[in-house]
């Protein structure tokens, strides 16, 4: 009896449609499941799509590449050495940016590929925008890197 009820419930869920459209379905998110399972009008199809997204581990790729129905973020900083340098030297970089010069700032500018001929202009730009880079006392190193890249 229980098997019959479960089967009938799942069959009913499978055929019961909702007003959610596949292209704009915010329930399942982006990823391979949202591409492979186009008709997400029922609960079962949405569960299949979200399970596929979760088990295939491709949402990170989709988000960073802007594929698989995912939107790429506006700022992508893939400069690991710069991120690590800023994380290890937050205070000295803050002092150098505020002064518009210094060894830490020079190293950071090299890591974000600012040419030697442009370092003076970049240093002055960062100095003028210090409050946009170090936005609060709780700012993280990742935010500082994003803010520096956005400023430059």
- C-beta of residue 90 within 8 angstroms of C-beta of residue 96: no
pTM (predicted TM-score): 0.51
User: How much is the pLDDT for 9?
Assistant: 43
pLDDT in tens, 110-131: 988 899 899 999 999 999 999 9
Contacts of 120-123 with CB under 8 Å at 24 or more apart are: 122/152, 123/97
pLDDT in tens, 63-115: 666 777 776 555 554 577 888 888 889 999 999 999 999 999 999 999 888 99
Percent of the chain residues topping a pLDDT of 70: 74
């Amino acid at each position: 009896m229980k098997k019959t009820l479960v089967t009938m419930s799942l069959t009913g869920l499978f055929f019961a449609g909702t007003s959610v459209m596949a292209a704009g379905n915010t329930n399942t998110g982006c990823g391979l499941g949202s591409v492979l399972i186009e008709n997400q009008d029922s609960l079962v199809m949405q569960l299949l799509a979200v399970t596929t997204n979760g088990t295939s581990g491709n949402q990170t790729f989709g988000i960073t590449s802007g594929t698989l129905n995912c939107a790429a973020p506006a700022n992508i900083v893939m400069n690991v050495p710069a991120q690590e340098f800023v994380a290890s030297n937050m205070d000295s970089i803050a002092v150098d940016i505020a002064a518009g010069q210094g060894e830490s700032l020079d190293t950071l500018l090299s890591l974000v590929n600012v040419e030697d001929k442009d370092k003076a202009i970049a240093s002055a730009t960062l100095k003028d925008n210090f409050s946009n880079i170090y936005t609060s006392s709780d700012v993280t190193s990742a935010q500082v890197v994003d803010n520096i890249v956005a400023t430059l």
